[in-house]
Amino acid sequence: MKETLLNFALLLAMITPLTAADKFYSDDPLQHEPPPRDAAGVKGRKLNDYYDLVENSFKKRGQRNSAKVTIRAGGVNTLGEPMDGAWYTHRHYFNTMTLEQLQLGANGKNPPATDGPWTVVSAKSEGISPGFVMTDSKNDKYFVKFDPIAYPELATGAEMISARFLYALGYHVPDYYLIRFTPQKLALAKDVEFRDSAGRKRAMTRQDLDDLLAKVPKTTDGQIRGIVSLQIAGKPVGPFKYFGTRGDDPNDIVPHEHRRELRGLGIFAAWLDHNDSRSINSLDTLVQGDGSTYIRHHLIDFGSTLGSLSTSAKTARSGGEYYLDFKAAPKQIGTLGFAVPYWAHAHYPGYPSVGGFEAETFEPDKWVPDYPNPAFLNRLPDDEFWAAKQIMAFTDEQVRAIVKIAQFSDPSAERFVGDALITRRDKIGRVFLTRVLPLDRFAVDNGQIVFHDLGQEHGIGAEGGLHVTWSRFDNKTGERTPIATAQDFHVPVAGTGSSYLAANIWRGDDTAKAVTVFLRLTGTQAEVVGVDRTW
């Protein structure tokens, strides 16, 4: 009883100011998150990948959208955009990156120094996925990984490409480089701890290193191709989860299953076939900035993207259904497999460096990661639009420029990956841009409200003319009073007697898919302060 009363009082306390509060503040829309609180006390943590699989496969984690409850994405400004900060940075869609910038990725200017040896300072054997950590003559630390022996250029190529795309899409990712070297380039530091194939810890020997390198493919000139990622800045404190918030991070106030950049990541993952997009492939680090120590959230490890499964080529199941898809299984059992899933119609090109990647059977709306991801499952049409508009912003030339940095030795493999990404991009656009009215980049120019009609720009679902109605908007009550005289995109500044206007825009007869653009009036000047979408 006491607990109930307490909760009731808390709710009242929150509702009361809400009823009297403004919809827009003077500093809206925020482009940057406010300076973070100090989070230096955050403790490191480790998630277990098997537990994560079971937890997400068998339990409904986080708070889910459903037919009864719809929770719009959070962590966004009043335009619906995630803010620059610990999770996200506005990049390619907002400020078109040059081809060179797209190819450089997170930094692109700090590869391992070629002078002097590369010193192996720690290693992992972990079965068929060899790798180690090395330092160069600058004493920078790099994580090194390789391709599966039967699939040269597969995992390294996929990781190079996907890291570039995800960086351009706004995420914090490591700085990746391709390297080529002979075993003689490597030196072994003293007392490197090593866990052998029998799981025992011991000092690493040169023989161990040679054995490790024997498991990776060699180029025709005897060199070894690997991918290195520069150690991420800051102190690692473990991965983030795709639901809830981190209990000891004061800046983590939006449940992750509601964060737009994590909901939208599901669409990016579909594009790149990032079936391994799960907690274990994320990393939080404590970094210094804005006068405090705070957590920055990174996506890491893109070896299981495109046609790669890190240690082999992808099978058709990846992206088609979950590891444990208990909804699909009864149908397969009952029909003796004669109900062939759509993804099983995939045909792969046969390039070792491409593996199990294609676009013909790709259905963006059906794509799933290896197991349920609460943020991906929570996405709404406006989350999908947010992601799709960014994917569609990559031109064919830009896609091919990023694919080029994988340095596939077979030009036809490079062409195939570029073609597949372009086809998958277009499919994503056709599916997700049309679920809302695809207008974006609103601004006021020359007394008119202007915007980009992404449907028209991409030739998708742009039939019918656009209509607009204007209202005076009461920032305190949310009440809208129609302005009958205003029926085009000219902003009715004069004589409205209001500080805020709302323009409701729709196409043809489809009034359900509408965008309301809120303008703040200062004298005769108007600025876009908010965007709401309905569908």
Beta strands at 118-124 and 186-188: parallel, antiparallel or unpaired: parallel
Closest CA to 153 of 347, 406, 364: 406
Number of H helices, E strands in the chain: 12, 18
How many Cα atoms sit within 13 Å of 100 on the Cβ side?
1
Sorted by sequence, the CB contacts under 8 Å of residue 129 that are 6+ apart come out as 145, 310, 311
If binding is defined by CB under 8 A, does position 329 make contact with another protein? yes
Q: Considering only residues 100-129, where is the footprint of another protein by CB under 8 A? A: 127
Alpha helices (H) in 133-259, listed in sequence order: 154-168, 206-214
Q: Is residue 34 a contact residue for another protein (CB under 8 A)?
A: yes
Q: Is 145 in the site for another protein (CB under 8 A)?
A: no
Q: Check if the beta carbon of residue 154 is closer than 8 Å to that of residue 355.
A: yes
Nearer to another protein, 14 or 484 (CB): 14
From 32-40, 136-144, 157-165, 497-505, give the range in contact with another protein by CB under 8 A: 32-40
User: Of the candidates 37, 180, 206, 490, which one interacts with another protein according to CB under 8 A?
Assistant: 37
Q: Which stretch binds another protein (CB under 8 A): 66-74, 112-120, 424-432, 500-508?
A: 66-74
User: Smaller CB distance to another protein: residue 226 or 530?
Assistant: 530
Q: Which of 178, 254, 422, 468 binds another protein (CB under 8 A)?
A: 254
Considering only residues 136, 153, 175, 249, which one is a binding residue for another protein as defined by CB under 8 A? 249
CB 386, min distance to another protein, A: 15
8 binds another protein (CB under 8 A): yes
C-alpha span between 36 and 42 (Å, rounded): 13
Q: For residue 67, how far is the Cα from the chain centroid?
A: 26
Using alpha carbons, list the distances in angstroms from residue 208 to 11, 180, 202.
62, 20, 11
Q: Which helix (H) or strand (E) holds 177?
A: strand 175-181
Per-residue tokens: 493 = 């500044």
Per CB under 8 A, contacts with another protein among 456-485 are: none
Phi, psi of 285 (to 5 degrees): -130, 150
How many other β-carbons are positioned within 10 Å of the β-carbon of residue 511?
13
Instruction: Give the one residue of 17, 291, 465, 497 binding another protein; rule: CB under 8 A.
Output: 17
Interface with another protein (CB under 8 A), residue from 82, 255, 319, 364? 255
User: Which pair of structure tokens corresponds to residue 173?
Assistant: 């990712």
Comparing CB distances to another protein, the nearer of 248 and 479 is 248
Among 154, 155, 186, 346, binds another protein (CB under 8 A): 346
> Minimum distance between the CB of residue 505 and another protein, rounded to whole angstroms?
22
Sheet harboring 186-188: ordered strands across? 175-181, 224-230, 141-146, 131-135, 118-124, 186-188
Residue 274 within binding range of another protein, rule CB under 8 A: no
Ramachandran angles phi, psi of 12, nearest 5°: -60, -45
Note whether 363 binds another protein by CB under 8 A: no
Q: At what angle do helices 154-168 and 260-272 cross, to 10 degrees?
A: 140
**Using the rule CB under 8 A, which residue among 12, 336, 484, 494 binds another protein?**
336
Tell the smallest beta-carbon distance from residue 331 to another protein (Å): 9
Question: What DSSP string runs through 369-400?
Answer: -SS--HHHHT--HHHHHHHHHHHHTS-HHHHH
Is residue 236 within the footprint of another protein (CB under 8 A)? no
Question: Does the footprint of another protein cover residue 64 (CB under 8 A)?
Answer: no
Q: Given candidates 12, 46, 67, 115, which one binds another protein under the rule CB under 8 A?
A: 46
Judged by CB under 8 A, does residue 438 bind another protein?
A: no
Q: How far is the CB of 406 from another protein (least distance, A)?
A: 24
Segment contacting another protein by CB under 8 A, of 252-260, 379-387, 463-471, 481-489: 252-260
Name residues contacting another protein, limited to 158-217 (CB under 8 A). Answer: 195, 197-200
Residue 43 interacts with another protein (CB under 8 A): yes or no: yes
Closer residue to another protein (CB): 51 or 511: 51
Nearest distance, CB of residue 104 and another protein, angstroms:
32
β-bridge pairing 175-181 and 224-230: antiparallel
The verdict on 352 binding another protein (CB under 8 A) reads no
Q: What is the DSSP string of 327-339?
A: THHHHHHHTTT-S
User: Residue 207 or residue 485: which is nearer to another protein going by CB?
Assistant: 207
* Interacting residues with another protein between 292 and 321 (CB under 8 A): 312, 315-317, 321
Nearer to another protein, 47 or 422 (CB): 47
- Among residues 477, 125, 441, 168, which one has the least CA distance to residue 311? 125
Judged by CB under 8 A, how many residues of this single chain contact another protein? 83
Neighbours of 490 (CB within 10 A): 13
In which element (H, E) is residue 266 found?
helix 260-272
Q: How far is the CB of 167 from another protein (least distance, A)?
A: 26
Q: Supply the minimum distance, in Å, between the C-beta of residue 317 and another protein.
A: 6
Q: How far is the CB of 68 from another protein (least distance, A)?
A: 9
9 interacts with another protein by CB under 8 A: no
Q: Give least dist CB 256 to another protein, A.
A: 11
Residue with tokens 């058709």: 316
- Find the shortest distance in angstroms from Cβ 20 to another protein: 8
If one asks whether residue 12 binds another protein (CB under 8 A), the answer comes out as no
Q: Which residues of 8-41 are buried (b: 16+ CB within 10 A; e: fewer)?
A: eeeeeeeeeeeeeeebbeeeebbeebeebeebee
CB of 371 to another protein, least distance (A): 10
Q: Is 67 in the site for another protein (CB under 8 A)?
A: no
With tokens 């974006």, the residue in question is 440
